[in-house]
Amino acid sequence: MSKQRPDLRPPSDPTFERSPVTTQRLAAPGTGGTTWLGMTAPVGTRGIPFHLLRAMRPHQWTKNAFVFAALVFDRKFFEFGPVANAILAFAAFCLASSATYLINDIRDIANDRAHPRKRFRPLASGDLSVPIAAVASAVLVVVSLTIAWLVRPEFAGVIVAYLALMAAYNLGLKLLAVLDVMIIAIGFVLRAAGGAVAIDVPISPWLYVCTALLSMFLGFAKRRSELATLGANADAHRANLADYTIPMLDQLITMVGAATIMAYALYTFDAPSVPSNYSMMLTLPFVVFAIFRYLVLIHQNRMTGSPELLLFRDRPLFAAILGWGVAAILVLYYLQ
């Protein structure tokens, strides 16, 4: 007979709450439990593929949209070949990033159980077993590299660099305050660079600078949200949060936010790839509003710990980003 699975955290813990999708039973051989790849997994109201997909975090695949930057800014948006390669590059980065999420969640099971929201992640809640997650991560890496090689061998090199960077991050660099956010920013720069390599075009250094600064802005905002949400117990979830303070993060966010606006403003009239009539500056108000709107949300502590979700849930922010995208395409393709 199957045994009742023990609680993931002590019932006396006031923050303990069961996941609604975890019915808390371990399948035993011969009891009709769910088995996949020869490994036993917890029985719940959902199957293993569902929990595996959740652990892959498809809602965070929007971060990989940076691979399309070169496609748009090098005016290849309406050419079939470059568009096809960019879509394949996006898929390769989605699979590679999901592989790193699985490894990260395996390593952070204990810390995630101390977080009010992350304890419901499939691995932390027990809805997905560690062996299945590890095998799935390896498969995702192989498929990602295969797709990347088919796009261009040089692009496969970018994916390898991204995976190596994320491995170093998970193995210890994420414990170093400030450097952890810088590593994440480099990951976004690799996405932008990968998009350029995939369609075989050069890309303006300004785009790299803007990408890095915007990524650090969002990264420091996420650290502030974690600190504000978790309070005195923040370092139990992420050790390096003990090295941050909210006043310090406010200063960093202000500095990087201002630098992002300045870098983008310079890009709009100084980059060689933009129209010589300075019409690209028409996109600047959208960027300024988006940064300022995000600052408002940061100080209201409204989901800035999950920017990939906030993008779609805050209508003014979504409208600003959509408006920027439309304006950029109009300027680059029709207002030269």
pLDDT tens sequence across 11-21: 334 333 333 33
Q: What is the 3-state secondary structure (H, E, C) of the chain?
A: CCCECCCCCCCCCCCCCCCCCCCCEECCCCCCCCEECCEECEECCCCHHHHHHHHCCHHHHHHHHHHHHHHHHCCCCCCHHHHHHHHHHHHHHHHHHHHHHHHHHHHCHHHHCCCCCHHHCHHHHCCCCHHHHHHHHHHHHHHHHHHHHHHCHHHHHHHHHHHHHHHHHHHCHHHCCCHHHHHHHHHHHHHHHHHHHHCCCCCCHHHHHHHHHHHHHHHHHHHHHHHHHHHHHHHHHCHHHHHCCHHHHHHHHHHHHHHHHHHHHHHHHHCCCCCCCCHHHHHHHHHHHHHHHHHHHHHCCCCCCCHHHHHHHCHHHHHHHHHHHHHHHHHHHHCC
Residue 20 CA to chain centroid, in angstroms?
Answer: 25
**In this prediction, what percent of the chain has a pLDDT beyond 90?**
46
- Taking only the tens place, the pLDDT of each residue in 102-155 is 998 888 887 778 777 778 888 888 888 889 999 999 999 999 999 999 999 999
Asked whether residue 230 carries a pLDDT value surpassing 50, the answer given is: yes
Which tens digit of pLDDT belongs to each residue from 161-183? 999 999 999 888 888 889 999 99
pLDDT band at 188 (very low <50, low <70, confident <90, very high): very high
Give the pLDDT confidence score for residue 255 in this predicted structure.
95
**Overall average pLDDT of the 97-104 stretch:** 92
d(CA 241, CA 233): 9
How far is the C-alpha of 317 from the C-alpha of 243, rounded, in Å?
Answer: 30
* pLDDT computed for residue 28 by the predictor: 35
